[in-house]
């Protein structure tokens, strides 16, 4: 993709990764992604962020469409994670910048990743600003959104907030702005990115949103490092969505994920789903043999109730369920109703293990159900009842918020 002017004198010069399906090694990325970088033409020509190392040549080519790379005076590194800084060594070599700006933690990370002992690194902190001519860059450290080195850069008077990983989506597209694509796809990918990347830092997110609101910055464009750029009314939507996501208020919606050996646990899952639906709570049933854990996590994020099912295997939980619970625990979802269920042949520890795991995540637990060998009428009736009990508890929780 060629450079795109997002404001007069400010160009997107990043790279589109059409083929990316595994993001950061753990999250499925069905729509690909982009690595966004922004070149500002001014008295001090400034590049904000770079791209993954294998796209360095694309970034340099895009820069060359605007100016000779050697004319880039400054590079701002908002975030040192390799998908944003991987091309940095090649850019420093090609541009020979006067200064490379980063946060205090960013300096440590750049030197650890790239051994950049002789680079002209200049540390900037929250509240500091940098004149580059007609424009001024204002810096805001956003530690643990989602790395310790993260920061955002506000470009005045262009009213652009270059937001690093905040407000991003994994979308590969020939379009550059969020209002140019199907809005349902956009909403799904924004929430999915938050659920699998940003969720454990929700308390930090709320503090940063407050800091941005108190900054006095007039923002009419948010330019994240992944996906499409927000402008106009989209800016308000993105900020409101992030605040809503970070608050994690429960929704009247449930997800059931499970793994099964001989389909007994699967039958139980379907019966529980029937009870939920009958009681007025929408539900999605997801087999961990079929659904990627990051897809399941997106549903966990959107749901007020999470119900896990597993057959007992080697006196414990089936491996895919254990992995899903571990992944979910790391992302720290809050304000959830939880329950567990499963079948067993002789020992039946899976129900206890799953329940204890979710208790450790501070879920409000509803007593679960287990069935020996193959669930009969009474066991399936108990599963339907479990669904109804979860729905009742969830609806009361939603009403109390």
Provide, rounded to the nearest whole percent, the portion of the chain with pLDDT above 90. Answer: 94
Residue-wise pLDDT for 77-118, tens only, equals 999 999 899 999 999 999 999 999 999 999 999 999 998 779
Integer Cα distance of 143 and 148 in angstroms: 4
Per-residue tokens: 303:
């749901």
Q: Are strands 337-344 and 121-123 parallel, antiparallel or unpaired?
A: unpaired
pLDDT at 25: 67
Segment 307-313 shows an average pLDDT of: 97
What are the domain boundaries of the chain?
4-247, 255-400
CB atoms within 10 A of CB 129: 11
**Residue 214 scores a pLDDT above 90:** yes
Residue-wise pLDDT for 256-304, tens only, equals 999 999 999 999 999 999 999 999 999 999 999 999 999 999 999 999 9
Segment 226-249 shows an average pLDDT of: 97
Residue-wise pLDDT for 184-209, tens only, equals 999 999 999 999 999 999 999 999 99
Integer Cα distance of 223 and 337 in angstroms: 36
**Residue 355 scores a pLDDT above 90:** yes
**Residue 26 scores a pLDDT above 70:** no
Per-residue tokens: 36:
């966004």
Segment 72-76 shows an average pLDDT of: 98
pLDDT at 109: 94
Q: Which residues contact 184 (CB under 8 A, 6 or more apart)?
A: none
Q: Which residue is associated with the tokens 């007069």?
A: 8
pTM value is: 0.94
4-247 with 255-400: one CATH topology? Answer: no
Q: Is the dihedral of CA 288, 293, 298, 303 positive or negative?
A: positive
Closest C-alpha among 152, 137, 147 to residue 108: 147
Segment 297-322 shows an average pLDDT of: 97
Could you please state the CATH topology (level 3) that the domain comprising 255-400 is classified under.
Rossmann fold (3.40.50)
Distance of CA 21 to the CA centre of its chain: 15
Q: Which residue is associated with the tokens 């066991």?
A: 379
Residues labelled as active-site residues: 24, 79, 81, 83, 146, 165, 193, 226
pLDDT at 21: 73
Which one-letter DSSP state was computed for residue 229? B
**Residue 1 scores a pLDDT above 80:** no
Closest C-alpha among 226, 182, 229, 160 to residue 15: 226
Q: Are strands 230-231 and 305-310 parallel, antiparallel or unpaired?
A: unpaired
Round the average pLDDT of the chain to a whole number and report it.
Answer: 95
Q: Are strands 312-313 and 316-317 parallel, antiparallel or unpaired?
A: antiparallel
Closest C-alpha among 345, 353, 352, 339 to residue 385: 339
DSSP string, 302-324: H-SEEEEEE-EETTEE-HHHHHH
pLDDT at 23: 74
Q: Tell me if residue 349 falls in helix, strand or coil.
A: coil
**Residue 368 scores a pLDDT above 90:** yes
Segment 166-181 shows an average pLDDT of: 96
Integer Cα distance of 286 and 309 in angstroms: 10
Integer Cα distance of 91 and 317 in angstroms: 49
Segment 127-139 shows an average pLDDT of: 98
Could you please state the CATH topology (level 3) that the domain comprising 4-247 is classified under.
Metallo-beta-lactamase; Chain A (3.60.15)
């Amino acid at each position: 993709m060629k450079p795109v002017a997002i404001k007069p004198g400010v160009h997107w010069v990043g790279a589109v990764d059409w083929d990316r399906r595994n993001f950061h090694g753990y999250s499925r990325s069905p729509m690909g992604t982009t690595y966004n970088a922004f070149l500002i033409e001014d008295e001090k020509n400034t590049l904000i962020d770079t791209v993954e190392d294998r796209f360095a040549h694309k970034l340099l080519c895009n820069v060359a469409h605007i100016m000779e790379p050697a004319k880039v005076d400054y590079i701002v590194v908002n975030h040192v994670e390799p998908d944003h800084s991987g091309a940095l060594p090649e850019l420093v070599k090609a541009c020979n910048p006067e200064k490379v700006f980063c946060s205090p933690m960013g300096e440590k990370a750049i030197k650890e990743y790239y051994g950049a002992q002789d680079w002209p690194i200049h540390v900037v902190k929250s509240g500091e600003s940098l004149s580059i001519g007609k424009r001024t860059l204002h810096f805001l450290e956003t530690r643990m959104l989602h790395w310790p080195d993260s920061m955002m850069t506000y470009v005045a008077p262009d009213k652009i907030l270059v937001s690093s990983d905040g407000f991003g989506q994994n979308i590969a597209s020939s379009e550059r702005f969020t209002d140019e694509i199907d809005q349902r796809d956009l909403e799904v990918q924004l929430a999915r990115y938050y659920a699998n990347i940003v969720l454990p830092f929700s308390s930090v997110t709320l503090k940063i949103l407050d800091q941005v609101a108190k900054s006095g910055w007039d923002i009419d464009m948010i330019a994240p490092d992944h996906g499409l750029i927000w402008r106009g009314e989209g800016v308000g939507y993105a900020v409101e969505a992030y605040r809503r996501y970070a608050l994690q208020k429960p929704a009247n919606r449930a997800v059931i994920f499970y793994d099964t050996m001989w389909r007994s646990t699967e039958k139980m899952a379907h019966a529980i789903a029937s009870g939920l639906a009958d009681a007025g709570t929408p539900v999605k049933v997801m087999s961990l043999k079929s659904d990627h854990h990051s897809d399941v996590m997106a549903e966990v994020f959107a749901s007020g109730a999470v119900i896990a099912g597993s057959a007992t295997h080697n006196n414990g939980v089936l491996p895919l369920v254990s992995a899903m619970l571990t992944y979910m625990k790391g992302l720290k979802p809050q304000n959830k109703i939880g329950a567990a269920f499963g079948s067993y042949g002789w020992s039946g520890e899976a129900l206890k293990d799953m329940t204890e795991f979710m208790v450790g995540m501070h879920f409000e637990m509803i007593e679960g159900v287990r069935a020996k060998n193959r669930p009969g009428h009474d066991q399936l009736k108990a599963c339907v009842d479990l669904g109804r009990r979860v729905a009742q508890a969830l609806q009361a929780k939603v009403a109390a918020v």
